Amino acid sequence: MADFHSRFEGMTLFEAFRDAALKHDDGKPVIEDATGGSSTYKRLMTGARILGAKFARMTRKGEIVPVLLPNASAVAATFLGLQSAGRIPAMLNYTAGPSTILSACQTVKARMVIASRTFVEKAELEAPVKVLQEAGLKIIWLEDLASKISVFDKALGYVMRNKPLARVKPRDPALVLFTSGSEGLPKGVVLSHSNLLSNCSQIEQRIAFGPRDKLFNVLPVFHSFGLTGGMVLPLVFGVKLYLYPSPLHYKIIPQAVARTKPTLLFGTDTFLTGYARTARDKDFDSVRMVVAGAEAVKDETRKVWMDRFNTLVVEGFGMTEAAPVVAVNTPEENRPGTVGKPLPGMELRLEPVEGITNGGRMYLRGPNVMMGYMLADNPGVIQPLVDGWHDSGDVVEIDEDGFIAIRGRVKRFAKIAGEMVSLGAVEILAQKLWPEEHHAVVAVPDKRKGERVVLVTTAPGANRDVLLEASRKEGLTELMVPNFIIQVGEIPVLGTGKTDYGTARKVALSNLGLDDAA
């Protein structure tokens, strides 16, 4: 890690925001949102100080406080207010079910949750809120806090906006995000101030951006890419930010981009495909670059965005545990089919995986890698990493130039008749045949072969003979060809934009009349 030095070394998140405000505040809004809300740096810092004082009176220093808010100006002020007060925000995935949201709160031993009545009503989140209240958690409504802000509060907040309410250290916990929970109960990922700011600095050393840029962020702030890349990163570097509440508004988002004229956009392949289908050719004229992650970017997606919008799509790779970015392609070094080179300061090692000859299981270490997990069976306690190494669970190959190619998660390989089959590779095969459709490949139990491959797809013409012929042309083994094909109206997607393989597998099991014990 000797080759990396963070420009935020020795700083906390609040200090980084404050310094950015002092340097970049030009009196114009730095944050705008779809509700018409906006904030200059001065207003953001003032609002954070006012809210922070309110939070400080209700909570203890170092307490973890879950946040149930959408992409809007209020979430930035709330996040920064908690940082000022020395409290640790835990961003809740409001697209998860009530039991999952409650489990996340219990994992961090929360006593209260910050939310908005307007948001809860619009997003129809009354059910999870009721579950939280019945479990004894207090809901702090932002509307109630706003109604109690006095003239004195405002004056004090303005004067003291650049001074934090509590002192914390760069390596103290700063944030808790949660894994998707698709492999069991969600795990709390504890990130320090240094983790988050190191990742921002790593990204800035690889991709050029600055105060002349404007980012349009559709990725929810409960997602690591949406939180770090979509809120913290732009604000600590003076990049203007437009927050949009849902990435699923395929018809509205291109119009909003055309109106707000951002230069940068984050997304996933699924979202980018959806936007391209509904957009007019000039809607994305202002966007010079799209950074995509969370799932593999298809060649067709890159081609459409370049041909229609003259916009470069570069693919990166990250995980919540790495704050989140691990590797990214750049305009100068862009190798499609890979996720780019590791960021400065990252150490990677590959461990062999039985049955897989190309690549290995990736372990990583670096200044952005988490402090540790909080688990449901040991709530409130950070489980530290051994020597700082995190097992990514991903099988990757690294070429001679250092570019990383993701071959799939270890759990996304099936063992069929003793051979390891990449479910991701089967998905790519289906995508080449039916590029306009969506696909999820899952493995289900098989008494004779151990497991069998099932394709869940929206393609009405999908059949095994076509897949078999294509596999032969690609030189793939017949074991990779799905035994069963299930057509559905839509592929289940998580709130982060990733395919919900857990639900897709349940669809396959149900259609085949199987259970996990088959």
The token pair at 120 is: 């809860």
Q: How many CB atoms lie within 10 A of CB 150?
A: 9
**pLDDT value at position 357?**
75
**pLDDT value at position 269?**
87
- Judge contact between 153 and 161, C-beta under 8 A: no
What are the Cα distances from residue 200, in Å, to 225, 327, 483, 512?
A: 11, 13, 45, 46
- Please indicate, yes or no, if residue 409 is contained in any of the structural domains: no
- Please indicate, yes or no, if residue 25 is contained in any of the structural domains: yes
- Judge contact between 276 and 308, C-beta under 8 A: yes
**pLDDT value at position 442?**
79
352 and 231 within one domain = yes
What is the per-residue pLDDT across 12-70, written as a single tens digit (0 to 9) for each? 999 999 999 999 999 999 999 998 889 999 999 999 999 999 999 999 999 999 999 99
**pLDDT value at position 518?**
44
What is the per-residue pLDDT across 207-249, written as a single tens digit (0 to 9) for each? 999 999 999 999 999 989 999 999 999 999 999 999 999 888 9
Which residue, of 341, 369, 398, is where some domain finishes? 398
What average pLDDT does the structure give for the chain?
88
Which residue, of 335, 370, 398, is where some domain finishes? 398
**pLDDT value at position 184?**
62
Stronger pLDDT, 414 or 175, i.e. the higher one: 175
- Please indicate, yes or no, if residue 8 is contained in any of the structural domains: no
240 and 119 within one domain = yes
Q: With a cut of 80, say whether residue 451 has pLDDT above it.
A: no
367 and 428 within one domain = no
476 and 348 within one domain = no
484 and 372 within one domain = no
pTM here?
0.83
Averaged over 360-369, what is the pLDDT?
Answer: 93
What is the per-residue pLDDT across 247-306, written as a single tens digit (0 to 9) for each? 889 999 999 999 999 999 998 888 898 899 999 989 999 999 999 888 788 888 999 999
Q: Distance between CA atoms of 503 and 457, rounded to whole angstroms?
A: 13
Work out the percent of the chain whose per-residue pLDDT is above 70. Answer: 91
76 and 44 within one domain = yes
- Please indicate, yes or no, if residue 405 is contained in any of the structural domains: no
3-state SS, residue 64? strand
- 157 Cα distance to chain centroid: 32
What is the per-residue pLDDT across 58-77, written as a single tens digit (0 to 9) for each? 999 999 999 999 999 999 99
The token pair at 202 is: 């790593």
429 and 373 within one domain = no
Dihedral (CA of 165, 170, 171, 177) sign: positive
Q: Which of 414-428, 432-446, 493-507 has the lowest mean pLDDT?
A: 414-428
According to the per-residue pLDDT averaged within each range, which of 82-91, 267-276, 393-402, 442-451 is highest? 82-91
Averaged over 168-182, what is the pLDDT?
Answer: 88
Q: CA nearest 453: which of 490, 410, 475, 424?
A: 424
**pLDDT value at position 496?**
58
Q: How many CB atoms lie within 10 A of CB 183?
A: 13
140 and 78 within one domain = yes
Give residue 53's domain range: 13-398
Q: Distance between CA atoms of 4 and 102, rounded to whole angstroms?
A: 39
HSE at residue 365, side-chain half, CA atoms within 13 A, is 11
How many domains are there within the chain?
2
CATH number of the CATH domain containing 421: 3.30.300.30
143 and 257 within one domain = yes
315 and 183 within one domain = yes
Stronger pLDDT, 107 or 496, i.e. the higher one: 107
335 and 446 within one domain = no
- Please indicate, yes or no, if residue 3 is contained in any of the structural domains: no
CATH number of the CATH domain containing 230: 3.40.50.12780
Q: Distance between CA atoms of 327 and 341, rounded to whole angstroms?
A: 5
